[in-house]
Amino acid sequence: MGLAKTEIFTDEQNNISLFAKAFSHPARVAILQKLFKIDTCYCGDLVSEIGLAQPTISQHLKELKQLGLIKGNVEGTSVCYCIDPEKWQEMKGVMFEFLNQDIPEPDCC
């Protein structure tokens, strides 16, 4: 696989791309929806709720955590996950600005 060459793109373009990655798999969307409904959750709860294997859920949680959209607190031998409200607000602002652009009057196609 080739290099992403992210350095040739603006910070804004890289930010939009990273945030969009959170929604690029339905399991991550389901995890976020579950966390919004119940505020905090353990990986095992998500396994039974979503129906995917524990390693799969863990990998998606890792992705969301790397993106900064969720936080995880260790409680004994488990990790309790929740939405990071500051990062979520940042993501909403970035994505709203990008998606709220007006389409110019077409003079092609």
Most confident by average pLDDT, 5-9, 27-31, 76-80 = 27-31
What pTM did the predictor assign? 0.84
Q: For residue 68, what are the CA distances in angstroms to 38, 48, 55, 89?
A: 19, 24, 20, 11
What is the per-residue pLDDT for 2? 54
Q: Is the CATH number 1.10.10.10 carried by domain 13-98?
A: yes
What is the per-residue pLDDT across 30-63, written as a single tens digit (0 to 9) for each? 999 999 998 778 888 888 889 999 999 999 999 9
Dist CA 105 CA 90 (whole Å): 30
